[in-house]
Structure 1
Amino acid sequence: MVLDIWKEIKKKQFAPIYVLYGMESFLINETKQLLIKHVLEEDESDFNLSTYDLEETPIEVALEDAETFPFMGERRLIFLNNPGFLTAEKTKDKVEHNLSKLEQYIQEPAPYSIIVFVGPYEKLDERKKLTKELKRKGSIIEAKKLNEQELKGWIKERAKMNTVQIDEDAIELMLTLAGTNLFMLTSEVDKLALYAHDQKRINSEMVEKLVSRSLEQNIFTLVDKIVHRKIDESLRIYYDLLKQNEEPIKILAIISGQFRLIYQVKELARRGYGQQQIAGYLKVHPFRVKLAAGQAKSFEDEELTYIMKMLADADYQLKTGGMNKEMLIEMFLFRLQRKTMLV
Structure 2
Amino acid sequence: MLYLIGGENIYESQRRLEELKSEFIDRSAGIVKIFNADEMTDPSEIAANVESFSLFNQEKLIVIKRLFTSKAPFIEKIADLLKSKQKCNCIFWEDRSLDKRRSLYKDIKRTGNIEEFQKLTYFQLKSWLHKYAKEKIDFDQISLDRLILKLGDDQMQLSNMLDNLVTLVKSEGRTKLLEDDVVSFVEKTVEESMWDLVDALGEYDKSRALAILEDIIKDTGDFVKIIGMLTRQLRILVMTKYLLKIGRSQSEIVSKLHLHPFVVKKSVVHAGNFSFQKLRRLYQKLLNTDLVVKEGKFEEKLVLDLFIAAL
TM-score greater than 0.5 by the shorter chain = yes
Structure 2: how far apart are the matches of 1:201 and 1:20? 37
| Alignment partner, residue 250 of structure 2 | none
1:61 aligns with 2:35: no
- Unaligned stretches of 5+ residues in structure 1: 1-15, 85-89, 279-285, 337-343
Structure 1: how far apart are the matches of 2:139 and 2:24? 30
Structure 2: how far apart are the matches of 1:141 and 1:245? 37
Structure 1: how far apart are the matches of 2:107 and 2:7? 18
1:171 aligns with 2:144: yes
Within a 5 Å distance, the mapping from 1:1-343 to structure 2 comes to: 16-25=1-10, 27-29=12-14, 31-32=16-17, 48-51=32-35, 53=37, 56-57=42-43, 61=47, 64=50, 68=53, 76-84=60-68, 92-95=71-74, 96-97=76-77, 102=82, 113=89, 115-125=90-100, 129-133=106-110, 137-138=112-113, 140-142=115-117, 144-160=118-134, 163-182=136-155, 184-197=157-170, 198-223=173-198, 225=199, 229-232=202-205, 236=208, 238-239=210-211, 242=214, 246=218, 250=222, 253-260=225-232, 263=235, 287=259, 291=263, 295=267, 298=271, 303-315=278-290, 319-321=296-298, 325=301, 328-333=303-308, 335-336=310-311
TM-aligned CA distance change 1:51 to 1:312, over 3 Å: same
TM-aligned CA distance change 1:17 to 1:215, over 3 Å: same
| CA displacement 1:284-328 (0-9 Å, x = unmatched) | xx5569836973893776544422221233345564337x936x5
* TM-score w.r.t. length of structure 1: 0.60
Q: Does the CA-based 8 Å contact 2:4-2:91 persist in structure 1?
A: yes
Aligned residues: 286
Q: Does the CA-based 8 Å contact 1:248-1:325 persist in structure 2?
A: no
* TM-score w.r.t. length of structure 2: 0.65
TM-aligned CA distance change 1:290 to 1:159, over 3 Å: closer
Shift of 1:206: 1.6
TM-aligned CA distance change 1:39 to 1:334, over 3 Å: farther
SS of 1:49's partner is strand
SS of 2:93's partner is strand
Shift of 1:193: 0.9
| CA displacement 1:142-197 (0-9 Å, x = unmatched) | 2x333212322343354356x22443211111122333444543442122111222
SS of 1:116's partner is strand
Structure 2: how far apart are the matches of 1:21 and 1:100? 21
Shift of 1:205: 2.2
Q: Does the CA-based 8 Å contact 1:48-1:71 persist in structure 2?
A: no
TM-aligned CA distance change 1:20 to 1:104, over 3 Å: same
- Unaligned stretches of 5+ residues in structure 2: 244-252
Shift of 1:140: 0.9
TM-aligned CA distance change 1:191 to 1:209, over 3 Å: same
- The amino acid that maps onto 1:92 is K
Structure 2: how far apart are the matches of 1:72 and 1:257? 59
TM-aligned CA distance change 1:179 to 1:231, over 3 Å: farther
Structure 2: how far apart are the matches of 1:19 and 1:265? 43
